[in-house]
Amino acid sequence: MIRVTLRGLRARGWRALLTGLTAAVGVAIVVGTLMVGDTADRSGGSEGVDLVRTIMLLAGGVAVLVGGFIVNLTMSVTVAQRTRELGLLRCIGADRRQVRRSVLLEALAVGVLAAAAGLAAGHGVAVVLRAAVDAGPFQGDLPAGGSVLSGRTVVAAFAVGCLPMLLSALAPARRAGRVAPVAALREVAPSAGRMRPRRIGAGALALAVGLAALPLAVATRQGLLLLPGAASTLLAVRLLGPLFAGRLADVLGAPLRGVVGGLGRRNAARSPDRTAATATALMIGLALLTLVSIVFSSIEKAVLNDVHRDHVDFQVWAGGPDPTVRRAAPMDPEAVRRLRALPELSAVVTVDCVATGGATFCAADPAQLARVVDLEFSAGSLAAVTSGGVAVSDRDGRAPGATLRVGDADLTVTAVYRATDNFNAALIPSAELARIGGAPYPMTALTRVAPGVDRGAARSAVARATAGFPGLDVHDRAAFHAHDLAQFRNAGRVYRALTALAAVLGLFGVATTLALSIVERRREFGLLRAVGMGRRQLRAMVRVEGVLIALVGAALGLTVGVLFGWAAAAVLAHSSQPTRFTLPVGALAAIVVLVTAAGLLAAAVPARLAARVDVLRAVAAE
């Protein structure tokens, strides 16, 4: 039996190659990540590497998952195409278990090859990853010297390469075992038949569970609930896909006119199960990409909104050189007086603190602050902050009417304003602060350059005014924002690139499906060529099919991605991370355009194969 399997594998060599390719990429990512991780551990590890490791292992896992889908697809198609051969094996005495085992063995062999290839390619991934960590936004620091290949990594490579293969080959193997000996004698393989009600029931249940996770996660603010929800939705799409994938392909192809477009459209719709399986493999990556795009643009929108509300040009404080570490040290009031005297500045607002009852309470005067920050009140207004009242930021969590106890004084919250990334202190009138705890001292000064004054000149003036005071730092907010945003956008690019990788792997699936279908349809292509279809028309027909399958994946991926992206943004909005849900329409449109282009690319080789079909051999009777 093993010999039969290996012969079969050789006969279907290019298929095994396509099947294993995706899994090999997944293994390579996992191996590279583990290697870099081990290198970092040798030097005691670093936070940057830990983050990269988590993300990369996730990406590798997704790649392996997609690879499993593709194996499931190829094995199913291969078993269907080999019905007669399998029937023959049964005829000459192979029992069900042997047939089943031959399919599983084939999958295992592909898995071993994929693992070995992935292990070799993993070194390359490790090199790239190292460079990325050294240069990248995560600021990892790795020791010099080569990466480590540990025994654990080798074991992981083979586990990750083989286990999903075997798992995804289980169902096709069972189907192969069910092939009756008489199938060898039949002219035409029996069709796959209708979907069983049990499958539809399980799919509906998975869909219900997956969709229920959305409102549940948002209501309970538990982002982790989205993970099983997404997995369940994925399962639902795989199970129910055949019900709608064909129709979806038909609808997406509706604008296509002409006989070539029409044929391609019908080909995409003709085997809904296969189209669904392929589209699901692509959907995983695209849904992730959509989700990540939504989360990042939602955060970016909130951050940009903060930046637009913040009119502080230079902030002076007694902190260190690192703007992200704020040391609470009082400023010399004389420095503030000098700053106020500068004609280059139109506003100098201080955040003042008082010591009261062993604690420090800091606040700014709301009327003053409004000159450098656009205060957006979600409850109450500037006028409501009077004696005995206080405005808190929405991050404080107190609602209007609540009490804020400062030392011996009880302040009533009369207004709530939206915090910015730079400012979330309490607001009370200056006179009130002095009443609570004695003489307030300035903690930081927020300054705004007067209109018409050159920023450089203003910067020098501020530097001169603070020069005599040790420990004072002048901090350029505009530069900080630019740096901050650049960092953030870099991180976004890395995440998007990693998730896009999963989508690219899905396209391997499209190429595999098309290539397999073309082998199946040799005679049909020959017939079309015989009755006058040109090579170019034939290629175009296959490309239409590829693009439509890819677009079904895109439609599913965008739908799932937008749903879960919205939920993720909604959960994040309740966290300390400012987030405002926004649909990155441009990015999503770009995804659709790229998927279309990639579908064309994935169809390129299959289309050439199809156009090369020998008319004579295809039409000549068997």
Partner 1 sequence: MSEPVAAVRAVGVSKRYPTVTALDDVSVEIDTGRMTAVLGPSGSGKSTLLHCLAGLDTVDSGAVYIGDVNLCGLDERRLTRLRRDRIGFVFQSFNLVPTLTAAENVVLPLRLAGRSPERAWVARVIDAVGLADRLGHRPAELSGGQQQRVAVARALVARPAVVFADEPTGNLDSLAGAGVLALLRRCVDEFGQTVVMVTHDPIAAGHADRALFLRDGRVVDDLPSPGVEQVLERLRAPRAAA
**Interior CA angle at 18 toward 515 and 590, to 5°?**
75
Residues 248-277: x where in contact with partner 1 by CB under 8 A, - otherwise, as a string: ----------xxx--x--xx--x-------
Query: Measured from the CB of residue 195, what is the shortest distance to partner 1 in angstroms?
Result: 19
Query: Measured from the CB of residue 251, what is the shortest distance to partner 1 in angstroms?
Result: 16
Binding window for partner 1 (CB under 8 A); candidates: 18-26, 60-68, 327-335, 528-536? 528-536
Query: Measured from the CB of residue 175, what is the shortest distance to partner 1 in angstroms?
Result: 22
Q: What is the dihedral of CA 541, 546, 548, 554, to 10 degrees?
A: -160
Report if residue 524 touches partner 1, rule: CB under 8 A.
yes
Strands 359-364 and 426-427 come out as: parallel
**Whole-angstrom distance, CA of residue 260 vs CA of residue 529:** 12
Task: Give alpha helix (H) positions in 405-534.
Answer: 430-437, 455-466, 477-520, 522-530
Query: Measured from the CB of residue 532, what is the shortest distance to partner 1 in angstroms?
Result: 2
Report if residue 28 touches partner 1, rule: CB under 8 A.
no
Report if residue 185 touches partner 1, rule: CB under 8 A.
no
Query: Measured from the CB of residue 94, what is the shortest distance to partner 1 in angstroms?
Result: 30
Helices 47-81 + 477-520 axis angle, to 10: 20
Report if residue 371 touches partner 1, rule: CB under 8 A.
no
Contact status, residue 553 vs residue 282, Cβ threshold 8 Å: yes
Report if residue 311 touches partner 1, rule: CB under 8 A.
no
Query: Measured from the CB of residue 249, what is the shortest distance to partner 1 in angstroms?
Result: 12
Contact status, residue 595 vs residue 504, Cβ threshold 8 Å: no
Q: Please, which residue, 526 or 561, has the CB nearer to partner 1?
A: 526
* Of positions 90, 338, 529, 539, contacts partner 1 by CB under 8 A: 529
Report if residue 84 touches partner 1, rule: CB under 8 A.
no
Q: Please, which residue, 497 or 530, has the CB nearer to partner 1?
A: 530
Report if residue 619 touches partner 1, rule: CB under 8 A.
yes
CB-neighbour burial class of residue 349 (10 A; exposed 0-12, middle 13-18, buried 19+): buried
Q: Please, which residue, 468 or 534, has the CB nearer to partner 1?
A: 534
Q: Please, which residue, 262 or 407, has the CB nearer to partner 1?
A: 262
Q: Please, which residue, 278 or 290, has the CB nearer to partner 1?
A: 278
Size of the site for partner 1 (CB under 8 A): 24
Binding window for partner 1 (CB under 8 A); candidates: 302-310, 328-336, 394-402, 611-619? 611-619
Q: Please, which residue, 92 or 621, has the CB nearer to partner 1?
A: 621
CB-neighbour burial class of residue 239 (10 A; exposed 0-12, middle 13-18, buried 19+): buried
Report if residue 527 touches partner 1, rule: CB under 8 A.
yes
Name the residue among 376, 331, 326 with its Cα closest to residue 350: 331
Query: Measured from the CB of residue 527, what is the shortest distance to partner 1 in angstroms?
Result: 6
Structure tokens at 373: 């920050």
Binding window for partner 1 (CB under 8 A); candidates: 145-153, 365-373, 406-414, 524-532? 524-532
Report if residue 621 touches partner 1, rule: CB under 8 A.
yes
Name the residue among 544, 522, 548 with its Cα closest to residue 611: 522
The continuous run of DSSP H or E covering 445 comes out as strand 441-449
Contact status, residue 26 vs residue 118, Cβ threshold 8 Å: yes
Q: What is the dihedral of CA 6, 10, 12, 18, to 10 degrees?
A: 100
Residues 479-518: x where in contact with partner 1 by CB under 8 A, - otherwise, as a string: ----------------------------------------
What is the DSSP secondary-structure string of 348-399? EEEEEEEEETTEEEEEE-HHHHTTTB---EEES-GGG--TTEEEEETTT-PP
- Give bridge partners of residue 494 from the DSSP assignment: none
Place of tokens 């939602």: 298
Residues 530-549 that bind partner 1 (CB under 8 A): 530-535, 537
Q: Please, which residue, 455 or 536, has the CB nearer to partner 1?
A: 536
Query: Measured from the CB of residue 86, what is the shortest distance to partner 1 in angstroms?
Result: 23
Query: Measured from the CB of residue 540, what is the shortest distance to partner 1 in angstroms?
Result: 11
46 alpha-carbon distance from chain centroid: 23
What is the DSSP secondary-structure string of 54-85? HHHHHHHHHHHHHHHHHHHHHHHHHHHHTHHH
Query: Measured from the CB of residue 529, what is the shortest distance to partner 1 in angstroms?
Result: 7
Query: Measured from the CB of residue 274, what is the shortest distance to partner 1 in angstroms?
Result: 14
* Of positions 311, 496, 523, 608, contacts partner 1 by CB under 8 A: 523
Q: Please, which residue, 250 or 473, has the CB nearer to partner 1?
A: 250
Q: Please, which residue, 457 or 620, has the CB nearer to partner 1?
A: 620
Residue type at 345 in one-letter notation? L
Q: Please, which residue, 528 or 588, has the CB nearer to partner 1?
A: 528
Binding window for partner 1 (CB under 8 A); candidates: 387-395, 398-406, 553-561, 614-622? 614-622
Where are the strands (E) in 264-368, listed by range?
314-317, 345-356, 359-364
Residue type at 522 in one-letter notation? R
Q: Please, which residue, 155 or 530, has the CB nearer to partner 1?
A: 530
Grouping H, G, I as helix, E, B as strand and the rest as coil, residue 454 is: coil
Contact status, residue 169 vs residue 104, Cβ threshold 8 Å: yes
* Site residues, partner 1 (CB under 8 A): 258-260, 263, 266-267, 270, 523-524, 527-535, 537, 615-616, 619-621
